[in-house]
Amino acid sequence: MHPNYFSLIKKMGLSILIATTVLACKRENFEASALAVNQTVPITVTVNQNQKSYHISSTFEGLSYETGLLTESPDFLNENNAVLIQLIKNLGPGILRIGGNRSDEINWIGNSETADTTINTLTKADIDRLSAFAKAIKWQVIFGLNLGNNDAAAAADEASYVSNSLQDNLYALQSGNEPDVFNLRLRPKTYNYDQFQKDWINYFYNVKKQTPRVRFAGPDVDPFDPDWLNSFAANEHNNVRLIDGHYYNTGPASNPSITYHNILKPNLKLDGYLLQLNNISSKYHLPYRISECNSVFGGGKPGVSDVFASALWALDFMWTVAENNGQGVNFHGGTPFFVYTPITVDNGVVIARPEYYAMLAFKDAVGGAIIPATIIDPRDYNNCSAYACANSDNSYSITLINKEDKKDFSFTMQLSKTAASIKVARLTAPTITSATGVTFDGTSVNTDGTFTPETTEQRVINGKIFTVNVPAGSAAVITVQ
């Protein structure tokens, strides 16, 4: 099977059966002249319950934080931060990534009493807090060592302490954040992959000499840099358990022309990027992960990254990675500076932002292997997505995402097996640009972080065909029994 089989089928939309160029033109003319605002548009989706593909990792969902958060906000990733811990527990198992630009700016000093213990230094106490937090949320950690200072001896000492403190909660170490752009600030302008390879090997052997059982990931590179990923996998596939890269949908955040429409329209570069990652992953028998990602690079853009549109983007993005055999994603964030952060702190109160609700929806929708959900109407006409999963409890989940802001869709689902009943859990907000009032399954998270939805939308089907309306700027997760 082609590694991107389902994505290709979606893009084709079975158009050879239903459309020609002439019909496409007629439809566009119809929409331009006759479609009223929020008029309901019919969409047909076929779901093949007999054909399973990639299994979705149980630790697919993840969060990414700057190393500086450990020193600058010691009360955040803290075992006493009960609300944050509960919010993360709501998502089920996952991977926490500590790294970012600050990982190459903060120096390890251990427990030195003579060193300058400022926010630019990392101590054993910082690592112990992280360890206690990881144990509280029951997530494993990808931890980034400082490659920026090129101090392999310090990295080895740091790695030893991190490993001893986190123990089974340490998933992997990695060296350097986005080393493919080190030539912009941390290395000479001539710095290239070969030089990085020498730096990485030096770190790897120094760390392994001191802590032989620790495992590595990498190269944690800038978005759309498959050459570095391929070279790294070719050279180090026997020395790492994971290859990883980053992804941002658009940017920079300072670009005044970027609106929420930019993150909702399909990114033509994404499928090619994920296809290359999947090919590299398959060739070297290594899983891959998007270890840092979000909507708009440069910290996120107000009115785009912090509104409900970002939740629709995030839900669609997670599914796209899953369909391309990705092991998971880590949404970057943390402090209020990061407009796109799924969880933030506002006046001392930990709150969930729209992207967090997308993570809740994804968690509700997955529990097994991906199956084909094919939109008959080509995606070119209507900005919507459909995904499906065969769950381990013999149920099926279908996710429908309406990324239009002026079209409602009436999805007619055509199953390959008879269904007895369905449950519909909706991802909604007052408007597509709302920063608050987001709900999933009719419920918002409580102030203590708990989330206890009460399903109210259920229907008896007893057939293979049913219809679900998904209003403009919303999504729905359908559980089929």
Q: How far apart are CA 300 and CA 289, in angstroms?
A: 21
The owner of tokens 């669609």 is: 316
Specify the number of domains making up the chain: 2
Q: How far apart are CA 215 and CA 398, in angstroms?
A: 36
Tell me the CB-side half-sphere exposure of residue 63, using CA atoms within 13 A.
30
Cα R_g (the chain), whole angstroms: 23
Cβ count within 10 A of residue 192: 13
Would you tell me the crossing angle of helices 308-323 and 268-284 to the nearest 10 degrees?
40
Final residue before a domain boundary, out of 365, 391, 414: 365
Q: Which residue in 272, 362, 373 sits closest to 314, CA to CA?
A: 362
Q: How far apart are CA 425 and CA 432, in angstroms?
A: 18
Strand partners, 219: 244
Q: Give the CA angle between residues 99, 153, 162 to the nearest 5°.
A: 45
Final residue before a domain boundary, out of 319, 342, 365: 365
Give 445's contacts (C-beta < 8 A, 6+ positions apart).
87, 90, 352, 356, 451
Q: Let me know whether 138 and 245 are in one domain.
A: yes
Q: Let me know whether 355 and 340 are in one domain.
A: yes
For 106, phi then psi, to 5°, come to -105, 125
Strand partners, 208: none
Predicted local confidence at residue 100, as pLDDT: 96
Cβ count within 10 A of residue 423: 18
DSSP string, 124-144: HHHHHHHHHHHHHHT-EEEEE
Q: Let me know whether 286 and 239 are in one domain.
A: yes
Q: Let me know whether 384 and 355 are in one domain.
A: no
Final residue before a domain boundary, out of 345, 365, 385: 365
- How much is the pTM? 0.91
Q: Which residue in 359, 387, 368 sits closest to 451, CA to CA?
A: 359
Predicted local confidence at residue 4, as pLDDT: 42
Predicted local confidence at residue 8, as pLDDT: 37
**DSSP character at residue 441:** T
Residue ranges with strand state E in 215-348: 217-221, 242-250, 288-296, 329-333, 343-346
CATH number at residue 457: 2.60.40.1180
Q: Let me know whether 329 and 453 are in one domain.
A: no
Cβ count within 10 A of residue 70: 24
Helices (H), ranges, 285-421: 308-323, 354-365
Predicted local confidence at residue 119, as pLDDT: 67
Q: What is the span of the domain harbouring residue 383?
A: 5-54+369-480
Q: For the purposes of burial, counting CB atoms within 10 Å of the CB of 351, is it exposed (0-12), middle (13-18) or buried (19 or more)?
A: middle
The owner of tokens 């590299």 is: 280
Instruction: Quote the tokens at residue 180.
Output: 């493919």
Q: Let me know whether 44 and 113 are in one domain.
A: no
Q: Let me know whether 380 and 400 are in one domain.
A: yes
Task: Decide: 446 and 385 in contact? Cβ < 8 Å.
Answer: no
Predicted local confidence at residue 25, as pLDDT: 35
C-alpha dihedral sign at 170, 175, 181, 185 = positive
Mean pLDDT for back-to-back runs of 10 residues, the chain (481 residues): 38 34 36 56 96 96 97 96 98 98 95 62 97 98 98 98 98 98 96 98 98 98 92 98 97 98 94 96 97 98 98 98 98 94 95 98 97 83 94 97 96 97 98 98 97 91 97 98 96
CATH number at residue 138: 3.20.20.80
Q: Let me know whether 419 and 441 are in one domain.
A: yes
Q: Let me know whether 268 and 403 are in one domain.
A: no
C-alpha dihedral sign at 358, 364, 369, 375 = negative
Residue 384 three-state SS: strand
Strands 288-296 and 329-333: parallel
Q: How far apart are CA 221 and CA 178, in angstroms?
A: 4
Q: Let me know whether 397 and 270 are in one domain.
A: no
Task: Decide: 147 and 179 in contact? Cβ < 8 Å.
Answer: yes
Task: Decide: 75 and 129 in contact? Cβ < 8 Å.
Answer: no
Q: Let me know whether 161 and 276 are in one domain.
A: yes
Q: Let me know whether 168 and 264 are in one domain.
A: yes
Task: Decide: 25 and 381 in contact? Cβ < 8 Å.
Answer: no
Instruction: Quote the tokens at residue 272.
Output: 């090619």
Q: Which residue in 333, 268, 330, 267 sits closest to 300, CA to CA?
A: 333
